Structure 1
């Protein structure tokens, strides 16, 4: 399995560094990061994602692209590639989501596993109020 994290600014790098604190340096073998900055165009970010996908074995179906914001440039660039490549796209990355993906890295991805990963990410969003 390969994970491509595409976010605004250095957020992708921060997720990877945090995951490495918990899971160790093996995270690097599963994850590629693409940072998006205001000077990058939609085409530039799209080509960076395309390049990472094409580095993979053409038979590989276990590719997940994670983005920070649904509707943001990284997400829109990835969506535009879904017609040409087979991969899962999940918007709204958080650390529990990334950790769950990395912990299930040996499994063949399917829609049930992806839904489980998204549910775990949602369950980790909690509001505590002492008022």
Structure 2
């Protein structure tokens, strides 16, 4: 079974949860951890998540900052579970992973990460549309 964790400093994880619930509906299968927001200990939250992981599970973890404290804490625990960790995530990569068929491979994840990197661009509206263009033309 696919197990997904989104862990961030502050309330970024809850923001992702909000967006995902609009885009895909039910997010009950995804665990979200907002570190350092309340007195809830991130170590306890991570221990709870990893205690629910079995040997057969595919674990994909998204953290906000490579090398940040959340990423470091996740990395220490993930080694025992052969989890994939994607640091510096964006919403498109989470959506891509949600819809990947199992089994998930390192090669597949690297391909999806590259696709999502290429989708991050500076949008220059003045170069994309003129006043005569409609919204429908812009979005096609």
**Shorter-chain TM-score range:** 0.7 to 0.9
Partner of 1:107: helix, strand, or coil?
A: coil
State the partner residue of 1:4. 5
1:53–1:21 distance in 2 versus 1, CA, 3 Å: same
User: Whole-Å Cα distance in 2 between the matches of residues 40 and 72 of structure 1?
Assistant: 19
Does residue 56 of structure 2 align to residue 55 of structure 1?
no
Deviation at 1:116, TM superposition (A): 1.9
Higher relative contact order (CA 8 A, sep 6+): 1
Aligned residue runs from structure 1 range 16-95, under 5 A: 16-25=17-26, 27-29=27-29, 31-37=30-36, 44-60=41-57, 62-95=58-91
TM-score, L = length of structure 2: 0.78
Higher alpha-carbon Rg = 2
Count of residue pairs the alignment pairs up? 125
RMSD: 2.1
State the partner residue of 1:102. 98
Partner of 2:16: helix, strand, or coil?
A: helix
Contact 2:11 2:37 in 1 (8 A): no
Unmatched tracts of structure 2, length 5 or more: 128-140
Q: 1:24-59 deviations in whole A, cap 9, x for unaligned? A: 12x322x10111016769xx4234223202212232
Deviation at 1:128, TM superposition (A): 2.6
